[in-house]
Amino acid sequence: MADPGRPAEVPPDTELAGLGVSQGRAAGPVIRMAPPPVLPSPRQVADPAAESAAVVKALESVTADLRQRGALAGGGDAAEILDALAMIADDPMLREDAEAAVRGGLDAPHALDAAFTHHRETLAALGGYLAERAADLDDLKHRAVAACLGLPMPGIPAPGHPYILVAEDLSPADTAGLGTDVVALVTEKGGPTSHTAILARGRGLPAVVACAGITALADGTVISVDGKTGQVGVGLTDEAVAELRRSDREERARLANSSGPGRTADGHPVKLLLNIGSAADLRPGAEGVGLFRTEFLFLDRKQEPSFEEQVAAYAEVFARAGTVVVRTLDAGTDKPLPFLGLPPEPNPALGIRGLRVDRVLPAVLDTQLDAIAEAARATGADAWVMAPMVTTPAEAAGFARRARARGLTRVGAMVEVPAAALLADRLLAEVDFLSIGTNDLSQYTFAADRQHPGLADLLDPWQPALLKLIAACADAGRAAGKPVGVCGEAAGDPRLAPVLVGLGVTSLSMAAVCVPSVREELSQHSLEECRELAALAR
Ligand code: PEP
Ligand code: MG
């Protein structure tokens, strides 16, 4: 590895550009992720029992490593992802497959390779989300083979000094387990709503994805990363590095001091709310929770969570957060819930997902609404409830009827499908508020898979077609005198915030790390200026 801090042979003042997905700036030496282990030539197996024992030991060591990193992650998405991966590595079927491969004549590393490859192919054949999880199995395979060969675990380096992690892409396990020595991350692939982006934002780590050319840099090259603009500067002088770190420190200190409700410069209120997946994501400084992604609580569950378990999970959040907008389970496509047992579909993003699950399993929504109502009663919280993937006014009406029958008085619909935005006025005749999920609204408006790094330009929330749909919802909200918020990732973009407010949006819900800069930016613009910016943008 090159000497950290010594610029590699790249022209000074070169600039690479990617997508800024987690704000903040950092500078430091690049370290690229260690390559996966190379399998040696197969060995003649003299002692199958010893090979089997080596297989078991490798799987146990990978499982233990993931569990330990899960415990160190301290809760939240990161811990959940690491625990889920540990469960896969600990799967008895996987171990039995590898032991069968040993009995078939393979040595331990090749038996592990064969077992993981077989499981990967099975998942890939199922399509949809499960096919996407197949990449996790590659990551686990590399770890298991490395453990078996006595090689250092591939994945996150530990150089003993702060560095910028560069990778082609980062698996959920790698991103979730990043140590505090990683000061920023840059990947060649990935999209704005990828795991990398969501986890980096959760940690407040500057991050740039879809940055072409980044993996060509040598280890030790000093770069700067701007997680807001997506710019990556290469070949910096020591003075430039020191200046950037100083100004980032100042900026963070300034933002950390920001508090109070969201307001434009002339006092127009805009609620600043949190997006959470569990109570572990709650932070002070916001005005409540604008999106509680309840499906995150149950992603790896094989059994439906009971009414009592759901009441406890919701009450934990309600007791600490006051006002909470609970989204009912958004299962399907990139977030399947195994306990629902839904069959694979040829085109899952356009299939049974979100509220549509209710068409085939109505009891699931009934139990969840019962549990939300009970948790609200028990805690006295101001609980709002909304459904994901609402497409027609009839769907909104049906959901509202069932929620109100349980005493839930603030009932809303997410706007994630263009059809819903186009009939926002009719949706608002049925419900009390709308919350715009720009991640999916972009995906469905632009016919662009939200996980696709090559389509990031279409998924850019500044696209005028998306802004026009947001404006249509806000206009309908104004006419009906009902709130219309944004809870997709776009709400956490401080540059976009004045535009969204100018379009008429009444609340913005985002990862906790985004709140101070959005609050700060809003306070710089009067409502009239926001409206002017919105008129220019749409
Ligand atoms: C969205 O689609 O914008 C949204 C907030 O929901 P999710 O990202 O969970 O699909
Ligand atoms: Mg969505």
The CATH number of the domain holding residue 203 is 3.50.30.10
Long-range contacts of 397-406 (CB under 8 A, 24+ apart): 397/430, 399/328, 399/355, 399/365, 399/431, 400/430, 400/431, 402/365, 402/366, 402/369, 403/369, 406/369, 406/370, 406/372, 406/373
| Phi, then psi, of 143 in degrees rounded to 5 | -65, -45
Query: Contact, 91 vs 123, CB < 8 A?
Result: no
Nearest CA to ligand 1 atom 4: 437
- pLDDT score, position 299: 77
Q: pLDDT tens-digit profile of 113-171? A: 999 999 888 877 776 656 656 777 888 999 999 999 988 778 777 677 899 999 988 86
Same domain, 438 and 501: yes
Question: What average pLDDT score do residues 66-91 get?
Answer: 79
Q: pLDDT tens-digit profile of 371-381? A: 999 999 999 99
C-alpha 315 – ligand 1 centre gap (Å): 23
Query: Contact, 365 vs 371, CB < 8 A?
Result: no
Total H helices, total E strands in the chain? 19, 16
> Does 6 reside within a domain?
no
d(CA 281, CA 29): 30
Distances (CA, A) of 341 to 40, 113, 119, 352: 40, 29, 19, 12
> Does 285 reside within a domain?
yes
Same domain, 269 and 304: yes
pLDDT at residue 185 tops 90? yes
Q: Which amino acid is at 407?
A: G
Task: Find the catalytic residue in 119, 195, 473, 514.
Answer: 195
Count of C-beta atoms within a 10 Å radius of residue 335: 17
C-alpha 389 – ligand 2 centre gap (Å): 7
Same domain, 238 and 311: no
Count of C-beta atoms within a 10 Å radius of residue 7: 20
Atom of ligand 1 minimally distant from the CA of 193:
8
Instruction: Indicate the pLDDT class of residue 259, thresholds 50, 70 and 90.
Output: confident
> Does 41 reside within a domain?
no
Question: What average pLDDT score do residues 59-64 get?
Answer: 93
Q: pLDDT tens-digit profile of 499-516? A: 999 999 999 999 888 899
196-205, 363-372, 501-510: segment of lowest average pLDDT: 196-205
pLDDT at residue 451 tops 90? no
| Phi, then psi, of 212 in degrees rounded to 5 | -65, 135
For the chain, give the longest Cα–Cα distance. 80
Query: Which residues does a 6 A CB cutoff place in the pocket of ligand 1?
Result: 291, 293, 330, 416, 437-440, 487-488
- pLDDT score, position 247: 87
| Ligand 1 mutation pick, 21, 77, 193, 195, max ligand atoms within 8 A of CB | 193
d(CA 478, CA 142): 54
How many residues can be counted in the chain?
538
Question: What average pLDDT score do residues 66-82 get?
Answer: 75
Closest ligand by atom to 327 CA: 1
- pLDDT score, position 250: 87
Report helix, strand or coil for 497: helix
Instruction: Indicate the pLDDT class of residue 525, thresholds 50, 70 and 90.
Output: very high
Domain closes at, from 254, 289, 308:
254
d(CA 170, CA 155): 9
Question: What average pLDDT score do residues 433-449 get?
Answer: 96
d(CA 508, CA 386): 16
- pLDDT score, position 74: 65
- Bridge partners of 327? 293, 386
pLDDT at residue 522 tops 90? yes
CATH number of the domain where residue 134 is located:
1.10.274.10
Q: What is the DSSP letter of 494?
A: T
Q: Which amino acid is at 72?
A: L
C-alpha 265 – ligand 2 centre gap (Å): 31
Same domain, 208 and 268: no
More confident residue, 73 or 504: 504
Closest CA to 443 of 368, 324, 365, 349: 349
Count of C-beta atoms within a 10 Å radius of residue 157: 18
Atom of ligand 1 minimally distant from the CA of 295:
9
- pLDDT score, position 62: 92
To the query of whether residue 473 is one of the catalytic residues in this protein, the response is: no
Report helix, strand or coil for 14: strand
Nearest CA to ligand 1 atom 9: 293
Q: Could you give the residue ranges of the DSSP H alpha helices within 127-150?
A: 128-149
Query: Contact, 85 vs 41, CB < 8 A?
Result: no
Report helix, strand or coil for 94: helix
Q: Which residues make Cβ contacts (< 8 Å) with residue 447, sequence separation at least 6? A: none
Percent of the chain at pLDDT above 90? 62
Same domain, 129 and 203: no
Query: On the CB side of 91, how many CA atoms lie within 13 Å of its CA?
Result: 15
Four-CA torsion 386, 387, 392, 394, nearest 10 degrees: -80
C-alpha 319 – ligand 1 centre gap (Å): 24
Same domain, 228 and 162: yes
Four-CA torsion 72, 78, 82, 83, nearest 10 degrees: 90
Same domain, 78 and 172: no
Question: What six digits make up the tokens of 486?
Answer: 């944004």
Question: What average pLDDT score do residues 471-475 get?
Answer: 98
- Domains contained in the chain, number: 3
CATH number of the domain where residue 399 is located:
3.20.20.60
Percent of the chain at pLDDT above 70? 92
Same domain, 532 and 477: yes
Closest CA to 455 of 190, 201, 230, 199: 190
Please list, residue by residue across 300-312, b when 16 or more beta carbons sit within 10 angstroms of its beta carbon and e when fewer do: eeeebbeeeebbe
- pLDDT score, position 177: 66
Question: What six digits make up the tokens of 422?
Answer: 């186009």
C-alpha 331 – ligand 2 centre gap (Å): 10
Atom of ligand 1 minimally distant from the CA of 490:
3
Same domain, 463 and 344: yes
> Does 9 reside within a domain?
no
pLDDT at residue 4 tops 50? no
Q: pLDDT tens-digit profile of 5-29? A: 333 444 556 899 998 888 889 999 9
Instruction: Indicate the pLDDT class of residue 252, thresholds 50, 70 and 90.
Output: confident
Atom of ligand 1 minimally distant from the CA of 488:
3
pLDDT at residue 463 tops 60? yes
Closest ligand by atom to 451 CA: 1
To the query of whether residue 487 is one of the catalytic residues in this protein, the response is: yes
| Ligand 1 mutation pick, 195, 416, 496, 514, max ligand atoms within 8 A of CB | 416
> Does 4 reside within a domain?
no
| Phi, then psi, of 501 in degrees rounded to 5 | -65, -40
Question: What average pLDDT score do residues 219-242 get?
Answer: 90
C-alpha 106 – ligand 2 centre gap (Å): 45
> Does 40 reside within a domain?
no
Closest CA to 185 of 129, 223, 216: 223
Question: What six digits make up the tokens of 447?
Answer: 């016919």
Domain closes at, from 254, 275, 290:
254
pLDDT at residue 195 tops 70? no
Closest ligand by atom to 273 CA: 1
Instruction: Give the strand pairing for 323-327 and 382-387.
Output: parallel
Question: What six digits make up the tokens of 250?
Answer: 């100042």
Question: Which range marks the domain in which residue 287 is found?
Answer: 258-537
- pLDDT score, position 287: 95
Domain closes at, from 237, 254, 271:
254
- Bridge partners of 28? 223
Q: Which residues make Cβ contacts (< 8 Å) with residue 437, sequence separation at least 6? A: 388, 414, 415, 416, 487, 488
Same domain, 183 and 69: no
Question: What average pLDDT score do residues 103-114 get?
Answer: 96
> Does 8 reside within a domain?
no
C-alpha 195 – ligand 1 centre gap (Å): 13
For residue 164, the Cα-to-chain-centroid distance in whole angstroms is: 20
Task: Find the catalytic residue in 148, 211, 473, 487.
Answer: 487
> Does 241 reside within a domain?
yes
d(CA 235, CA 280): 39
Instruction: Indicate the pLDDT class of residue 273, thresholds 50, 70 and 90.
Output: very high
Nearest CA to ligand 1 atom 3: 437
Task: Name the helix (H) or strand (E) containing 384.
Answer: strand 382-387
SS3 annotation, 58-76: HHHHHHHHHHHHHHHCCCH
Same domain, 392 and 421: yes
Closest ligand by atom to 508 CA: 1
Q: pLDDT tens-digit profile of 402-418? A: 999 999 999 999 999 99
Give the strand order in the sheet containing 222-226.
Answer: 14-17, 231-234, 222-226, 25-32, 163-167, 182-187, 207-209, 19-22
Task: Name the helix (H) or strand (E) containing 326.
Answer: strand 323-327
Same domain, 62 and 192: no
Report helix, strand or coil for 46: coil
